[in-house]
Amino acid sequence: MAPRYVGLAAAIALAASVATAALAQDAERKGIPAPPGHVFNTIISGYQFRSKETRALQDDDLENPGFLAVERAADAWKKAEGSEGKSCMSCHGQAETSMKGVGATMPKWDDKLKKPVNLEQRINICRVEHMKAEPWKFKSRELTDMTTFVKYQSHGMPVAVKTDGPMSPWFERGKQTYYTRYGQLDLACASCHERNNGKFMRADFLSQGQTNGFPTYRLRDQRVVPLHERFEGCMFDVRAEPFKPLSDDFLALELYVAWRGIGLPVETPSVRN
């Protein structure tokens, strides 16, 4: 056989091997059945798309670096701040009881504001209105730690956001954002996480883009990253001007993406690439 045909045969064999490996990986990924009308037949956490080493790191509570944020916030929970001299514990008692299930249902409708609020916003509302303390800045270690701590109290519970009633137009707004192409690369969220999950794009192995693990410890950043920062990063990646964190645009997107992972167990603090 001529050398170039040998090379072609080897390339075909390699491609077949890679395809077989990918199919085997797909078969190994565990998910949950999607409800009627969902975009997926099976909803799969980003955990299933990561390496065995990364999954093992997440599963080990002693080694998972995200638990440093949980521990810091557990101390902050008891610390009195602001002119009212109150701590989170002053109103809410033990977080293990009072915060159980809270993170799994966020974003949630706020009757006073007439709009949804997410966990970061709810924490700052409590600080300003009840503690008379300064709000924490987005991406500050304090706010990210406390968001992680509160979300952790729902660990293992299913994502259960509401999308009906007054949340309905926000859901539709988030859906529109999800399918809109942005930036110089002309890509939508769906381009990667719906049409191409389970494939490589450059060096990144694409997942369904589920948010049940956020805030998440990102190995490349060596810190816990909040969800809206990841949204920002995705928009930067497609060379688009991102929406502002905690803006209505990102809140609507957060709601819609949470619905796409409805029923998945909360994994916070998860570990991702």
Binding residue positions: 88, 91-92, 126, 189, 192-193, 230, 234
CA distances from 17 to 10, 13, 14, 206, 209 (A): 10, 6, 5, 20, 26
Q: Which residues are annotated as a binding site for substrate?
A: 230
Choice among 44, 69, 234, 252 that is catalytic:
234
234 is catalytic: yes
Q: Which residues are annotated as a binding site for heme c?
A: 88, 91-92, 126, 189, 192-193, 234
Active site residues: 234
